[in-house]
C-alpha cells in the first residue's frame, strides 16, 4: 500500500513538472508584470563617511566596491598611519597637511558595510577602467604622475588585496579618456583624452606598438568649451565594431583596420553631450529573440551651447532635457528624440535587471568641472524603453543629498543602486560653499525591493556550469540554474546577464545587459525551479568575464549571482 502511495505521489509530481515544462516566459493563470507607477523607491544612508570621494566606482565579483578619487586633492577624510614608503604619519602640522598620509581609495564591503583603505601610487584624477575576464580591474591614465599609468586591482576576498601599478606605460597621455573591453581576449581600447586625439590598446601586441590617430576626435573637439568630446561614449556593437559618440556626433569604427564604417546623423539640438557637457549614455538591453543583432544606443542630457564659458562667468545655463535613441545596426539610422521630465547633466545612467534605465545624480544647470554647476537634480528618473512615447519616464523619490561633480552610481547584486561622491572643489571642502564635499554613501532601493513583492521574488539562485567545468560557461553553451519560488511563476520570466561598469563623470564604461534564451524551465511542487539557459553566442555580444545573472519574475528580480562567460 505504501509503495502504491509513493507511486501515485511520483506520478503527481511528474504531471506537475510537465505542466511547467513550457516556454520559459509564458505561463497561464499567473500574476502579470508589475508596474512602477506610483512606486517611487526608497533611499538608505549606508555610511556617514567613506573617507574618499567616489569620483570612480566599480563593483567586483567578490561583492566589494572599489572607490577612489584623485590623489592630489590634499587630505581626504581617511587618515593613514603610514605612507607608501613606510614612514609614520604623525600629528605634526606638516603630516596633517600631507596628502600621502591619507587614503585616496577604499574598498567597500557590501555585506559588512565597511571600508578599508587602498594605496594608490599615482594620480587617478579623471581616469578610465575596464574589467578583465578574471575579474581584475584594469585602470588607465589620470593626471600628472598618472597620465600614462596602468594599474590593476585583483579582488581577493580576504581583505588583503591592493592596487598594483604596471611597469609598462600608455603611449599617450590619457586624462578624461574612455575604455572599452574588446572581443579579443582581455584586450582594451583606450580612446581620447584632453588634447589627445588618438586611441591605443592595452596590452600592446609588441614593444614598439604606439597609438593611432583618430580624426573623428579632432573633428568633434570644441576648444573654446573645454573640449566637449572628452570621455567619449563607447559601445561595442554585436558585429564586433565600436560605436563612438563625441560631442554631438557618432561613428561606427572598425578598430582592427582603423576604418570608419559609418558616420551617423548628428543628434538633434544644440549643446554638447560629452564632458564637460556631461550627458550620459547606455546601450539598451540586447535580446536573444533577435540573436542580439539589434543594437540601440541612448544618449540623454548634457550642457547647453556656451555653458562651460558661462559657468566661468558665474552664469549657469539650463541643461539639456532631450534624449535620443538610435539603432546602430542595419542600414537605416535616425535619432528618435524625446524629453526627460527635466533638464539634466552630470547624471549616471544605469540599466536595471528589469531592462529599465535609471537616471540618477547630477544637476539642472551649468557644466562639468569644478564649481561649474547649480541646482542639484535630486529626483531620479526611471525610463521604460518598451512603453509608448510620452509614457516612458517616471519620477522617483527625491534624495536630500546633492550629487554634483564628480559623483557615481553602480548597481549592486541585491538590486539596490549604490550612490556616492560629489566634490566640485580643488580640495576637500566641507563648509561655506554651495555644495560641500560629500563623503556620505547611499543606496537607492527601487520599487521592486518592497516587502509586498517578496512572495514573487525568486530566491536562492544557484548556477551550475555542468560537465565538471567550474571556471565558467563557453559561448553558445548551455548552463543550468535553479531557484526557489513559492508560487507559480508569472507570465513573464526572464533571465538577464549584466556586465558591471566602471563609472565616473556620468559615464558607465562597458555596461551592457543581455536577455538570455531560456531553453527549458521546470518547477516542482516544492517550489524549486530548474532552468536551462543558453550563453551568448560570441564575445562580440558579451566580452568574456563576470556578469551578474538575475531571474526576473514578472518584473521582480532575484538577488543576482555571478556567471562567467569564457572563450573556447
Question: Mind spelling out the 3-state secondary structure of 531-558?
Answer: EEEECCCCCCCCCCEEEEEEEEECCEEC
**CATH architecture for segment(s) 2-36+454-566:** Sandwich (2.60)
Three-class SS state of 26: coil
Cα–Cα distance, 145 to 173 (Å, whole number): 10
What is the pTM (predicted TM-score) of this model? Answer: 0.93
- Where exactly are the structural domains of the chain? 2-36+454-566
What is the phi-psi region of residue 292: left when phi exceeds 0, alpha when psi lies from -120 to 50, beta otherwise? left
CA-based nearest residue to 192, from 274, 280, 298, 281: 274
Angle at 553 between CA 550 and CA 554, to 5 degrees: 130
442 C-beta neighbours (distance < 10 Å), count: 20
The C-alpha cell that represents 252 in the structure block = 561606427
CA-based nearest residue to 271, from 376, 214, 334, 343: 343
The long-range contacts involving 28-31, CB below 8 angstroms and separated by at least 24 positions, are 28/491, 29/488, 30/488, 30/489, 30/490, 30/491, 30/554, 31/456, 31/490, 31/491, 31/554
- pLDDT digits (tens), the chain, 568 positions: 444 443 333 333 433 333 344 446 543 333 334 444 448 999 999 999 999 999 999 999 999 999 999 999 899 999 999 887 888 998 888 888 899 999 999 999 999 999 999 999 999 999 999 999 999 999 999 999 999 999 999 999 888 999 999 999 999 999 999 999 999 989 999 999 999 999 999 999 888 899 999 999 999 999 999 999 999 999 999 999 999 999 999 999 999 999 999 999 999 999 999 999 999 999 999 999 999 999 999 999 999 999 999 999 999 999 999 999 999 999 999 999 999 999 999 999 999 999 999 999 999 999 999 999 999 999 999 999 999 999 999 999 999 999 999 999 999 999 999 999 999 999 999 999 999 999 999 999 999 999 999 999 999 999 999 766 668 999 999 999 999 998 887 788 999 999 999 999 999 999 999 999 999 999 898 999 999 999 999 999 999 999 999 999 999 999 999 999 998 6
> Parallel, antiparallel, or unpaired: how do β-strands 149-153 and 137-140 relate?
antiparallel
Cα–Cα distance, 155 to 128 (Å, whole number): 18
Three-class SS state of 320: coil
Number of H helices, E strands in the chain: 4, 43
The DSSP letter of residue 79 is B
Cα–Cα distance, 189 to 116 (Å, whole number): 31
Determine the pLDDT at residue 389. Answer: 96
Cα–Cα distance, 130 to 59 (Å, whole number): 11
Cα–Cα distance, 215 to 231 (Å, whole number): 16
Amino acid at each position: 500500500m505504501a509503495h502504491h502511495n509513493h507511486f501515485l505521489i511520483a506520478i503527481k509530481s511528474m504531471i506537475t513538472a510537465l505542466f511547467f515544462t513550457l516556454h520559459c516566459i509564458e505561463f497561464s493563470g499567473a500574476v502579470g508584470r508589475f508596474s512602477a507607477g506610483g512606486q517611487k523607491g526608497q533611499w538608505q544612508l549606508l555610511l556617514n563617511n567613506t573617507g574618499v570621494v567616489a569620483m570612480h566606482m566599480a563593483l567586483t565579483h567578490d561583492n566589494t566596491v572599489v572607490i577612489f578619487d584623485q590623489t592630489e586633492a590634499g587630505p581626504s577624510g581617511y587618515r593613514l598611519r603610514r605612507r607608501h614608503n613606510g614612514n609614520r604619519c604623525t600629528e605634526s602640522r606638516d603630516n596633517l597637511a600631507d596628502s600621502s598620509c591619507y587614503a585616496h581609495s577604499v574598498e567597500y564591503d557590501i555585506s559588512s558595510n565597511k571600508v578599508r583603505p587602498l594605496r594608490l601610487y599615482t594620480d587617478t584624477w579623471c581616469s578610465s577602467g575596464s574589467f578583465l575576464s578574471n575579474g581584475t580591474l584594469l585602470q588607465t591614465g589620470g593626471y600628472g604622475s598618472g597620465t600614462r599609468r596602468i594599474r590593476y586591482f585583483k579582488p581577493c576576498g580576504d581583505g588583503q588585496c591592493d592596487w598594483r601599478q604596471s611597469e609598462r606605460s600608455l603611449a599617450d597621455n590619457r586624462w578624461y579618456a574612455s575604455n572599452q573591453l574588446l572581443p579579443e581576449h582581455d584586450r582594451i581600447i583606450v580612446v581620447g583624452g584632453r588634447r589627445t586625439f588618438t586611441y591605443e590598446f592595452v596590452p600592446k601586441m609588441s614593444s614598439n606598438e604606439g597609438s593611432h590617430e583618430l580624426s573623428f576626435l579632432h573633428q568633434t573637439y570644441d576648444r573654446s568649451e573645454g573640449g566637449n568630446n572628452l570621455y567619449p561614449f563607447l559601445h561595442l556593437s554585436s558585429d564586433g565594431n565600436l560605436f563612438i559618440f563625441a560631442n554631438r556626433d557618432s561613428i561606427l569604427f572598425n578598430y582592427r583596420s582603423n576604418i570608419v564604417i559609418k558616420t551617423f546623423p548628428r543628434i538633434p539640438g544644440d549643446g554638447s553631450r560629452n564632458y564637460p557637457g556631461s550627458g550620459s549614455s547606455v546601450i539598451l538591453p540586447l535580446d536573444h529573440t533577435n540573436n542580439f543583432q539589434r543594437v540601440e544606443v541612448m544618449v540623454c542630457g548634457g550642457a547647453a551651447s556656451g555653458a562651460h564659458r558661462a559657468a566661468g562667468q558665474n552664469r549657469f545655463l539650463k541643461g539639456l532635457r532631450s534624449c535620443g535613441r538610435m539603432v546602430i545596426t542595419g542600414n537605416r539610422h535616425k535619432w528618435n528624440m524625446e524629453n526627460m521630465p527635466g533638464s539634466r547633466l552630470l547624471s549616471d545612467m544605469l540599466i536595471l535587471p528589469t531592462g529599465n534605465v535609471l537616471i540618477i545624480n547630477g544637476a539642472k544647470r551649468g557644466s562639468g568641472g569644478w564649481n561649474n554647476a547649480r541646482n542639484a537634480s535630486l529626483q531620479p528618473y526611471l525610463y521604460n524603453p518598451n512603453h509608448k512615447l510620452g509614457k516612458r519616464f517616471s519620477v522617483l523619490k527625491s534624495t536630500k543629498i546633492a550629487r554634483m561633480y564628480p559623483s557615481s552610481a553602480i548597481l549592486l547584486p541585491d538590486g539596490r543602486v549604490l550612490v556616492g561622491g560629489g566634490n566640485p572643489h580643488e580640495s576637500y571642502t566641507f563648509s561655506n560653499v554651495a555644495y560641500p564635499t560629500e563623503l556620505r554613501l547611499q543606496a537607492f532601493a527601487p520599487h521592486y525591493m518592497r516587502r509586498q513583492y517578496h512572495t514573487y521574488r525568486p530566491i536562492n539562485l544557484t548556477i551550475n556550469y555542468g560537465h565538471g567545468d567550474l571556471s565558467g560557461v563557453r559561448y553558445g553553451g548551455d548552463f543550468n540554474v535553479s531557484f526557489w519560488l513559492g508560487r507559480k511563476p508569472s507570465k513573464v520570466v526572464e533571465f538577464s546577464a549584466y556586465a558591471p561598469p566602471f563609472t565616473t563623470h556620468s559615464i558607465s564604461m562597458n555596461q551592457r545587459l543581455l536577455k538570455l534564451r531560456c531553453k527549458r524551465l521546470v518547477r516542482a511542487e516544492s517550489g524549486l525551479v530548474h532552468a536551462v539557459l543558453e550563453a551568448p553566442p560570441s564575445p562580440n555580444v558579451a566580452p568574456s568575464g563576470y556578469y551578474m545573472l538575475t531571474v526576473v519574475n514578472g518584473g521582480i528580480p532575484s538577488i543576482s549571482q555571478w556567471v562567467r562567460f569564457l572563450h573556447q
